[in-house]
């Protein structure tokens, strides 16, 4: 008597594609023959995307499925998330608690490193790489359990947001250590740059600890870098070396094609020193033009000339500026460069950009306006493609006004504070 075990792999695969994951798992438990025949394209697809929390239990499970070339090694899109729970402390902890926490973090790093090394071992002698690595922070504290996703990251009390940002830094350190040891190559690296998830960013100084020698191979395949950064942590020194991180990342990535930078300010922009601009200045001082395919800049607070030098050094074919604010200078030199043949731009997108506290309005543009000027014509959004990019960019600056008490205006400022910090 024939049974389902006697069916060819193609028919078993057809049956599997009609089942949910729980049923497939039950089918695979029936016999080793069925387990082998049911482990084809459809079942393996469940392992291509994986979210791993930086906790002992989750990391042990991740290690188990990646060990000895297991199905976990099929992962292509990996999300590693730090966790903030009710046990998270800021300071004022006992020596025993701090020692226990250090051992826990060391254990997490070891487990993550072992799992990534198992995956990297399957890449040996091939051109394969991890397609996407994203870092996030998950806030599971009970007092925020009912908070809507769009309201995450808007806390003004330091006791609320500090554990989140501390977890962000710990997550980066753990992943950086795991990358250095496992030597797993990554194609797309996203460091906390996701508006939909918990808002947090890496301090400038976190990038200055890169081990250039041990990260050469992991970043050799990097095509896309997306990074959200903020002020240095209070414990950082004021040495210029704290701002070399971005330029070092680019030097480690010879095949980089796309760069997305987001700046988040924990304090009002008018209260910040010019030290923060060294991150961009040093990247603009790289010895060679990178000639990237695309550059996106979100929320940068920068000098006009530094911005022009940075864009010119990146030499992108596509350029996007969103909520970029100049604390000194104008956009004139950047706009002149963008319209020149030397820029070789194929498209540009400018959305709500400012010279000091004056908003830029473009003349003669046909795009719809997010916030119409108080007087005259113009739009605060400019999009151009193809031959239109070579047209001169005419603009004027206007002090922006809002209708007080408008719910739409209130929502606008809440969203802006969530994305970019205090204004």
The domain ranges of the chain are: 1-46, 47-356
Asked if residues 328 and 302 have their Cβ atoms less than 8 Å apart, the reply is: no
Asked if residues 111 and 83 have their Cβ atoms less than 8 Å apart, the reply is: no
User: Sorting pLDDT into bands at 50, 70 and 90, what band is 237?
Assistant: very low
Distance CA(225)–CA(223), nearest Å, equals 7
**What is the CATH number that goes with domain 47-356?**
3.80.10
User: Sorting pLDDT into bands at 50, 70 and 90, what band is 236?
Assistant: very low
Distance CA(34)–CA(28), nearest Å, equals 6
Distance CA(198)–CA(84), nearest Å, equals 11
pLDDT at 38: 64
Asked if residues 103 and 111 have their Cβ atoms less than 8 Å apart, the reply is: no
Q: What are the backbone dihedrals phi and psi of residue 301, each rounded to the nearest 5 degrees, phi first?
A: -120, 105
- 90-94, 241-245, 274-278 — most confident range: 241-245
Residue 241 has pLDDT above 60, yes or no: no
Average pLDDT over residues 80-92: 72
Asked if residues 241 and 397 have their Cβ atoms less than 8 Å apart, the reply is: no
Residue 143 has pLDDT above 60, yes or no: yes
Q: Please identify which residue in the block is written with the tokens 């081990």.
A: 211
pLDDT at 268: 55
pLDDT at 234: 47
Higher pLDDT, 206 or 258: 258
pLDDT at 10: 77
Predicted structure pTM score: 0.84
Burial of 26 (0-12, 13-18, 19+ CB in 10 A): exposed
- 9-18, 153-162, 333-342, 360-369 — most confident range: 333-342
pLDDT above 70 covers a percentage of the chain that reads 79
Range of weakest confidence among 149-158, 229-238, 268-277:
149-158
């Amino acid at each position: 008597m024939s049974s389902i075990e006697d069916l060819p792999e193609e028919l078993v695969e057809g049956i599997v594609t009609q089942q949910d994951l729980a049923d497939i798992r039950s089918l695979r438990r029936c016999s080793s023959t069925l387990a082998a025949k049911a482990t084809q394209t459809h079942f393996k697809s469940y392992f291509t995307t994986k979210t791993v929390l930086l906790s002992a239990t989750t990391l042990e499970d991740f290690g188990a499925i990646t060990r000895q070339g297991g199905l976990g090694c099929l992962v292509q899109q990996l999300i590693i998330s730090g966790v903030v729970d009710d046990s998270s402390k800021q300071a004022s902890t006992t020596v025993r608690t701090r020692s226990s926490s250090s051992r826990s973090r060391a254990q997490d790093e070891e487990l993550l490193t072992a799992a990534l090394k198992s995956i990297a071992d399957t890449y040996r002698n091939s051109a394969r790489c991890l397609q996407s690595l994203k870092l996030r922070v998950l806030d599971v504290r009970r007092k925020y359990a009912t908070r809507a996703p769009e309201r995450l990251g808007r806390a003004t009390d330091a006791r609320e947001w500090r554990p989140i940002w501390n977890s962000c830094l710990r997550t980066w350190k753990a992943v950086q250590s795991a990358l250095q040891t496992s030597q797993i190559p990554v194609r797309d690296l996203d460091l906390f740059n996701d508006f939909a998830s918990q808002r947090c960013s890496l301090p400038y100084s976190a990038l200055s600890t890169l081990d250039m020698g041990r990260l050469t191979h992991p970043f050799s395949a990097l095509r896309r870098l997306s990074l959200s950064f903020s002020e240095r942590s209070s414990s950082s020194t004021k040495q210029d070396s704290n701002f070399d991180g971005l330029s070092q990342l680019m030097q480690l990535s010879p095949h980089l094609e796309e760069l997305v930078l987001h700046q988040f300010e924990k304090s009002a922009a008018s209260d910040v020193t010019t030290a923060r601009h060294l991150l961009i200045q040093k990247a603009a001082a790289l010895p060679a033009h990178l000639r990237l395919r695309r550059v996106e800049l979100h929320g940068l607070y920068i000098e006009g000339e530094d911005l022009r030098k940075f864009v010119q050094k990146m030499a992108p074919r596509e350029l996007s500026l969103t909520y970029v604010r100049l604390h000194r200078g104008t956009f004139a030199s950047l706009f002149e460069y963008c319209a020149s043949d030397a820029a070789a731009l194929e498209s540009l997108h400018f959305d709500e950009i400012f010279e000091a506290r004056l908003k830029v309005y473009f003349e003669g543009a046909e795009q719809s306006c997010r916030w119409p000027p108080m007087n005259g014509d113009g739009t605060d959004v400019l999009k151009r493609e193809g031959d239109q990019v070579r047209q001169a960019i005419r603009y004027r600056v206007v002090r922006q006004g809002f209708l007080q008490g408008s719910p739409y205006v209130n929502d606008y400022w809440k969203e802006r504070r969530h994305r970019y910090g205090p204004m």
